[in-house]
Structure formats: structure tokens, C-alpha cells
Structure 1
Amino acid sequence: MTRLLRQGSGQAYAEVIGDPIAQSKSPAIHNFWLGKLGIEAEYRACHVRPDELADYLAARREDLAWRGCNVTMPHKQAVMPLLYSVESPADAIGAVNTIYPAFDRLLAGTNTDAAGFLEPLTADLAETHYFRMARIIGTGGAARAIIAALAGHGFTLVVAGRDPAKARALLDELAPEGEHHAIDLAHFADPTDFAFDDREGCLDLVVNASSLGMQGQPPLAFDWSHAPPRSIAYDIVTAPRDTPLLQTARASGHRTIDGLAMLIGQAAVAFERFFGQAPPREYDAELRALLTQ
């Protein structure tokens, strides 16, 4: 493994690109795993502006030490026409978050967001349900992966955004089958007296796939009267880890999943692609502690 990783121009490395990028936790995750496995490689953050994407990819393709990159906002869709191939499920999702050099170092793109999002729901999805519904807040790149992933697992979707027309377009593109709904984000802000029917044997999710509630962003206004009993609250925001949405969900008696679950899950798939070895997930508790310092 070490011999293969060290071939080429210097020490092997992968990285994450975005604009901005300083906030990314990906270097901490990947370097933690590299250290635990004793792999002589590095994972970096690289600030790439939109007008620099093509030059960045051309330069990295020529660097034999480069093992690939993760892609964060605002580049997940913009990189697609610059790649030689776009693999499943990125082609269906319409967004790439992982790029790697394939045969002859031609660049291929894939998406690990969907797999990362679903990972903490594995046990729930293995059960049989009479009905599955997800209320998804957000219409950005992460929402695309989440919509596609949940539609593939038989969920009826309600997608809320500032622009309901955009939410509708996403559903028509990513989940054309099924009776899904697009609504205005403000719908969930005010209390409702809707009487939910018996939800025993059902699976209900409330997913914040937006940046609302992130440090420096406005809070997400969501009244938990809109969620059936025993719903699962899933917030993909990672800073703060315990968002106001998750706090109010617990106070309302709901189970919660934080954004580190998806972040670590998607990183695990990318890590194996970059470095040819599965990450040591037995250290997840230690990694979480590191990420929340």
C-alpha cells in the first residue's frame, strides 16, 4: 500500500475543493483515518474559485501524487461537464462530490452524499413499513442527493424551499414517480392543529438539507406540530453539531441524527476510493470528539 501511494511526484494526497473552504471538516476526518491506518499520505483543503475549476482539474490530472478530491459548494454541478465520466449515482442526482483519476488518469466523478446520508438510517430502512414520508427543507446540492436517495427507498416526499417552483422542479427531475409535494418554506414555521393518524409501523423523517441553523446563518423556523409522533429529526448542518432544530426535536420527543453522521459516512466512501482501504470506523467516537472540539 505504501509503495503504491508514494509513487509519482511526491507524497500521495487527496483534498477537498470549494469556495469558501476554510470551514471544511474533511481534512480532519481523512487525516485522522490516515494516521490510524499508518498510511503515508495527506488530505488537504484547497480554495478553488468558480473560474479556476478547469485549470485546477487539468493541473491535478497531471500530478501523479494526487488521488482525487471531494467537491463542496458551489462546485458540485459545475464540475460535471469538465469530467470524462460521471458515474452512478452522481448522474441520476445531477451533482458530483467526489472526483478521482480513473484509467489513463481520465477524471471520473461520483457522489457519496446519498450513501453517507442513508448510513445512519440503515437499520430503519431494513424494516418493513406501511408508509414512509420525509419532509425535506432545502433545494441545494445536498438536497438533490437526499431527494434521490429517499425516493429510491419508497418515501413520499414533501420538499420545502424559499422557491416552491424550484422544489417542484427538483421533484420532477429526481423523483418523477410518486405523489410528492413542493411547498413554501414558511409553511412549517407556524403551528398546525393537524391531527395525524396512527403512525405505528410508519417511518417519518424531518430533514434539514439547507444551511439554515448553521453558524452565521438565520435559524430554521420549524414547528414540531408538523411532524407525526416518533419522527426522526435529521439535520445535516455540522456547525454547530447540536443545532436548535435538533434541540427542539428532542424536547418534542423525537429521535435525532446530527450532521456529523452524514459527513463521516460520505467521507468513508470517498476515503476508500482515494486510498484503497476502508477507514477504521471503530474509532468513530474518537473522531466525533475531535470534530467537536
Structure 2
Amino acid sequence: MTDRIPLAGVIGSPVAHSKSPALHGHWLKRYGIAGYYIPMDVSRDDLRDALATLPRMGFVGLNVTIPHKEAVLGLADLVSDRAALIGAANTLIFRADGKVHADNTDGVGFTDNLRQGAPGWDPAAGPAAVLGAGGAARAVVSALAEQGVREIRLSNRTRARAEALRAEFGPKIVVYDWVQAGNMIEGAATVVNTTSLGMVGKPEFRVPLDGLSPDAVVTDIVYAPLETALLKEARARGCVTVDGLGMLLHQAAPGFERWFGLRPEVDAAARAVVLGE
């Protein structure tokens, strides 16, 4: 039987909190596509079996969340250059030839969100200042370098993690001590918070913004709250600000296109669905 209904989903543990089923369900309905997107709680011990079994059940691909984003790289047949560079995958494509292709769309999601929210954003306008050096920062740094940012200033509460990124990405990265993060922002054309600081239930964002240029584009990957303290203060200083929800939406679009054959639009309706409005 060749006309099977395509299935996709998100695997992780836990996975009940994921916004992806609502978003992909919205797009499937909007474009009249016969398909389903299903959240699946898969333990570490069952990951290999799940990747072997799901394609035979009609699945065309998956989103991958914690704790499997690194482990799937070792189980995939093909790994994209950007997933290898970031060291994690968030999107799997189950190909017709039976091979599993692992990709990471976080960087694409980040830059597409930036371009949509700040249409005049110019990667070559000046240095970028990135706060944090975790998994999200790896995707952001990779994307900024790919877009042509010539100097990427990086600061993390644990300096060693920032130094590890510099070792991988090269001299384009300039590492600052966390206590100097406010100085790092001075003269930056793009400022990105990839930490959880300022997120609901997390410590406050306390990096001083005295040196922030009103010409800077400021974005935060946190989207709860939608306008973080960083974005609120940056907007008050005259900056163009871009919230983190768009990154979540834009990183989902390439996977949907690969699985269901159509590039979905990231618009107000998609935002409203994820916000539960």
C-alpha cells in the first residue's frame, strides 16, 4: 500500500509540555494535509528501538527534544554538517531508502526569526554579543558565523564552556568573563540572550545594559514571558527587539516541509496557537 497517511511527531522524556503538536496540528489543518503529528514519551533505553520501528509504522520524521538531541546523532545514518557542528539534532527525516537523516534547524529558526522581527538586521553591521554557552548558544553562534558576523563576543557564567566554543569555532569568538558581560554589550550591533535568565521560574536577568547602543537588535530565546526584562529595557533604550517565540516557530518549519511537502507560513495565527490564544 503506497498511499499511507504520513505521520510525524516529537520524542523526548518528558514531552507533555511540548508546543510542537499544537503548532504542527495547526499547519496540517490549515493546509488541508492528510497527516498527523504525535507527542511520544520515549525513554533513553527505548530510543534505538523507536527509531528502528517508527519508520515501518508510517512515520516520515520526528522532532527530537531533551534528553535525546545528542544521542540521535550516533543512531542516524546521515548527519547534516550543521547538526554535527552544533553537536545535537532536533529534526529527523526518515528517507524512502530507509536511512535516518539527522538535522538541526535551531540556527535557521534563530536567523529566520531575527529577519522577520527585525527586517533591517545586517549581520555585518558590527559585533554580536551572545550570553550563554549551552546548546542553544552553539546553534546561535554557528548561525551568526554563517550569516557573516565577523566578531562574536561570548560570555557564560562558567567561562570554560565559552572557551570550549571558542576552541571549536575559532578566533571569530572573543570570550569575556561573566562579570564583564555588560562591557561586552557595548558597541554590539546584535545582542542575544541564550540563557534561561529572565525566564518564568528562573533567576532574573541582571546583566547591566548601560553600554547598549539604541541601534542594536536585541533578541532573547526565552519566550515565557514573551517580553523579558532584557527586551523591555532594550526597547525602552530605542532598540529593535525580537522575542523568542518566533525561533520556536521558525525552527519547526523546515521539518514540516520535509515531512509533508509544504513550507508553512510563520504568522500571527501560528503564534496564537502556540500561545494558546
| TM-superposition CA deviations, 1:94-136 (whole Å, max 9, x none) | 22110011242211101111111111333445x584x421111
Q: 1:22 to 1:222 in 2, by over 3 A?
A: farther
Percent identity of equivalent pairs: 39
Specify every segment of 5 or more residues in structure 2 that has no aligned partner in the other structure, as ranges: none
1:264 & 1:97 partners in 2: Cα distance? 13
- Work out whether 1:288 is the aligned partner of 2:271: yes
Instruction: From 75, 83, 87, give the equivalent of 1:90.
Output: 83
Shift of 1:31: 0.8
- Could you say which residue in structure 2 is the equivalent of 1:236? 221
Aligned CA distance change for structure 1 residues 167 and 66 (closer, same or farther; 3 Å): same
Aligned to 1:57: 51
Moved over 6 A (4+): none
Using the alignment, how far apart are the partners of 2:233 and 2:120 within structure 1? 22
- 2:211 & 2:45 partners in 1: Cα distance? 42
1:147/1:171 contact within 8 Å kept: no
C-alpha deviation, 1:75, in angstroms: 2.3
Cα distance in 1 for partners of 2:147, 2:265 equals 28
Residue 23 (str. 1) matches residue 8 (str. 2): no
Select 1:121's aligned residue among 114, 117, 136. Answer: 114
1:68 and 1:96 map into 2 onto residues whose CA distance is 12
Deviations 1:243-290 (A, max 9, x none): 222112212222111111111111111110111111144xx1122122
CA distance in 2, matches of 1:235, 1:93: 19
What RMSD in Å do the two structures reach over aligned CA positions? 2.4
Residue 144 (structure 2) aligns with:
150
Q: What amino acid sits opposite 2:98 in the alignment?
A: R
1:13 and 2:7 aligned: yes
TM-score under structure 1 length normalisation: 0.84
CA displacement at 1:165 relative to structure 2: 1.1
CA contact (8 A) 2:159 2:177 kept: yes
SS at match of 1:74: coil
Listed as ranges, the matches of 1:268-287 within 5 Å are 268-281=253-266, 284-287=267-270
5+ residue gaps, structure 1, are none
Q: SS state of the match for residue 71, structure 2?
A: coil
1:1-293 map, 5 Å: 6-7=3-4, 11-63=5-57, 65-122=58-115, 123-124=119-120, 127=122, 129=124, 131-155=125-149, 156-173=151-168, 175-178=169-172, 180-188=173-181, 204-281=189-266, 284-292=267-275, 293=277
Cα deviation, residue 85, structure 1: 0.8
TM-score by length of 2: 0.88
Q: Distance in 2 between matches of 1:185 and 1:20?
A: 31
- Say if 1:195 and 1:232 are closer, same or farther in 2 by CA, change over 3 A: closer
Shift of 1:91: 2.3
